[in-house]
Amino acid sequence: MSLTPEDFIAVLQEAEREHSSDQLVDLFSPEASCANLSHEAHGLDEVRDFWDTYLAAFIEVASEFSRVIEHPDGFLLEWVAHGILANGEPIGYRGVSLIDVGPDGIESFRTYYDSAVFVPQAVR
């Protein structure tokens, strides 16, 4: 599968607008993995759960991408996301995602961001 950063960005932004991981999961290979600082997923069922859990954290969310670095096996994306958490609190955070692409789609998606922004404001 030939996948460009622009393809991934467009599908992710559509998933955020529609609150649906279907088209996003279609970009992944059957043995794909996804990871953030607190969770790792392997295989398409877990990848779907990974993205569904992410989308469920928000009433609305939108990611904007400020930097794309391509390499022979994939790309790196620098981004900022803004939205409203499921509990109604506004959120803004930035991060980096590393994406490895193989012949069957995304093989590995790793993302790093400050997870403290997801702690309710009353607890901070």
CB 49 within 8 A of CB 26: no
Q: What pLDDT sits at residue 116?
A: 78
> Mean pLDDT, consecutive 10-residue segments, the chain of 124 residues?
93 98 97 94 98 96 98 97 94 96 97 82 55
Q: What pLDDT sits at residue 114?
A: 84
Q: What pLDDT sits at residue 91?
A: 94
Contacts 24+ apart (CB under 8 A), 101-104: 101/1, 101/3, 101/73, 101/74, 101/75, 102/1, 102/29, 102/73, 103/1, 104/1, 104/29, 104/30
Q: What pLDDT sits at residue 38?
A: 87
The pTM of the full predicted model, rounded to 2 decimals, is: 0.92
Q: What pLDDT sits at residue 67?
A: 98
Q: What pLDDT sits at residue 122?
A: 56
